[in-house]
Amino acid sequence: MAFLESTKKFNVISPINQLGYGVTGLNVIKSLLSNGHDVSLFVLGQLQADPKLHDFLKGCFESSRMPDFDAPCLRIWHQHDMSEWVGSGEKIGFPIFELNKFTPQEIHHLKHPDKLFVCSQWAKDIVLEQLGDSIKEENVYVIPLGVDRSIFRESISSRPTTTFINIGKWEIRKGHDILIEAFNRAFTKDDNVELWMMCDNPFHTDEQNFEWERKYRGSGLGEKVRIIPRQDSQQEVYNIMSQVDCGVFPSRAEGWNLELLEMLACGKHVIATDYSGHTEFCNKENARLVEVSELEDAKDGIWFHGQGQWAHIGDKEIDQIAEHMREIHKLKQEDELNINQAGIDTSKEYSWDNTVDKILEAV
């Protein structure tokens, strides 16, 4: 429970939707409110929340009509856009970034807030290295994100098929270009396995999303691939997660990876690269890690154009992913794929109340 030393007021600028920033903003606000603090909410973009939450957020919208202009302002948003704030209180930027280098525009914007919140020590080290003398170390705080364990709770799949899942919008950054190759290396048509992909990218055109789907459906094991549409709520995401055995996240870089932590909270096994933001909570005790030996320029021709670096994933890394997948399948077939208790234990350390505790300590 976030401590209630005294009631605090916050002006929060954030998206509210089912993407990473939106889920983060919503859960931070929910925890602040449930622990007795006041929030004036200023939504970035279109509000896309479960209708059941509209009444919950109503008070935040009413407060935003007459906000406390002396209260701290928390902006949960990209590092290249830190120019707009509410009031004259302390300005706190909370960017969730994936690369190890910032562009000149990003550096310019990151210098503006009074304090910066980041998700991991990996991210803090990058901020301090990239911003240098323009920011003091004591003004950069590691604020880990969380998981709602009232939704993402322990479950064991009753399906006889070994079922793998990847969740995250279609991107080269997330390893979607190589995951299907790893799946095809790991198994044959005779293996009782499936790969579920819940990866619709709302920033892509229909044709771009279809091209990704065609890559998977047209592969050698395409008949074992299931494309799942984007879900409208976290409960619906859990309903999908509860049916699978293992999450596969071959990301080249992540700012945090909410879905990976949610899978751990469900007691599911996970396969993940040993690099970037999720190393804050993902380790050899709770995950099957893919060792990364080098970095490469981050280029995908759409979102990233070499402005930083991310993990290199070549044949050696793809083979590691395939081997981990085979190990999971073997345990499943031998009825020895037990619940991932280490993952559950880890998730208990990363509640959204814990996130808010860290925020309150920093303001």
Instruction: Tell me the C-alpha distance between 82 and 203, whole Å.
Output: 21
Tens digits of pLDDT across the chain (363 residues): 444 457 899 999 999 988 899 999 999 999 999 999 999 999 999 888 777 777 778 899 999 999 999 999 999 999 999 999 999 999 999 999 999 999 999 999 999 999 999 999 999 999 999 999 999 999 999 999 999 999 999 999 999 999 999 999 999 999 999 999 999 999 999 999 999 999 999 999 999 999 999 999 999 999 999 999 989 889 999 999 999 999 999 999 999 999 999 999 999 999 999 999 999 999 999 999 999 999 999 999 999 999 999 999 999 999 999 999 999 999 999 999 999 999 999 999 999 999 999 999 999
181 vs 126: CA distance, rounded Å:
32
Note whether 113 and 26 are same-domain residues. Answer: yes
3-state secondary structure of 99: coil
| Residues 177 and 243 occupy one common structural domain | yes
The whole domain housing 209 covers 162-348
Give the chain's domain count. 2
Q: Is residue 329 part of a domain?
A: yes
Task: Express each pLDDT in 185-215 by its tens digit.
Answer: 999 999 999 999 999 999 999 999 999 999 9
Can you tell me the distance from the alpha carbon of 334 to that of 23, in angstroms, rounded to the nearest whole number?
37
76 and 207 in a single domain? The answer is: no
The pLDDT assigned to 5 comes to 56
Using a 10 angstrom Cβ sphere, with 0-12 exposed, 13-18 middle and 19 or more buried, the burial of residue 337 is: buried
CA distance 262 to 257: 9
Q: Where a domain ends, among 112, 142, 172? A: 142
Name which of 138, 134, 144, 89 is nearest 110 in CA terms: 134
Judgement on whether residues 122 and 194 belong to the same structural domain of the protein:
no
pLDDT of residue 3: 47
Q: Could you tell me if 202 and 335 lie in one domain?
A: yes
Residues contacting residue 290 through CB under 8 Å, at least 6 positions apart: 250, 271, 272, 273, 274, 313, 317, 320, 321, 324
Indicate the residue among 90, 113, 142 that finishes a domain: 142
Write down the pLDDT at residue 66: 96
pTM: 0.94
The CATH number of whichever domain residue 78 belongs to comes to 3.40.50.11930
DSSP state of 165: E
For the four alpha carbons of 56, 258, 336 and 225, in that order, the dihedral sign comes to positive
Are 229 and 339 members of one domain? Answer: yes
Same domain? 166 vs 136? no
- For the domain that residue 179 is a member of, what is the CATH number? 3.40.50.2000
Task: Quote the CA–CA distance of 179 and 251 in Å, as a whole number.
Answer: 9
